[in-house]
Amino acid sequence: MRRWRLRLVFFAALLLIWEGLALAGIWPSYVFPSPVEVISRLVHGFADGSYLIAIATSMKRILLGYGISLAIGIPLGLLLGRTRVLEETLGTIVLGLQALPSICWLPLALLWFHLSETAIIFVVVMGAVLSITLSTADGVRNTPPLYLRAARTMGARGLRLYGGVVLPAALPAILSGMKLGWSFAWRSLMAAELLYVSLGLGQVLTMGRELNDMAQLIAVMLVIITIGLIADYAFFQPLQARVRERWGLQGAA
154 touches another protein by CB under 8 A: yes
Separation of alpha carbons 174 and 179, rounded Å: 9
151 touches another protein by CB under 8 A: yes
Residues 6 or more apart in contact with residue 31 via CB below 8 angstroms: 214
- In the list 28, 75, 163, 164, the residue contacting another protein (rule: CB under 8 A) is 164
Task: Mark the segment that binds another protein (CB under 8 A) among 39-47, 62-70, 116-124, 168-176.
Answer: 168-176
CB-CB contact of 94 with 80 (8 Å): yes
Q: How near is the Cβ of 72 to another protein at its closest, in Å?
A: 25
149 touches another protein by CB under 8 A: yes
Q: How near is the Cβ of 143 to another protein at its closest, in Å?
A: 11
Q: How near is the Cβ of 135 to another protein at its closest, in Å?
A: 18
* Nearest Cα residue to 122 out of 139, 103, 137: 103
Measured from the CB atom, the residue of 20 and 164 that comes closer to another protein is 164
DSSP 3-state assignment of 144? coil
Helix orientation angle between 50-82 and 35-47, rounded to the nearest 10 degrees:
90
- Alpha-helical (H) ranges within the chain are 2-24, 35-47, 50-82, 84-97, 105-113, 117-141, 145-153, 158-161, 167-195, 201-210, 214-230, 237-246
Q: How near is the Cβ of 153 to another protein at its closest, in Å?
A: 4
- In the list 35, 67, 168, 228, the residue contacting another protein (rule: CB under 8 A) is 168
Measured from the CB atom, the residue of 25 and 251 that comes closer to another protein is 251
Interaction site with another protein (CB under 8 A): 146-147, 149-157, 160, 164-165, 168-169, 171, 245-248, 252-253
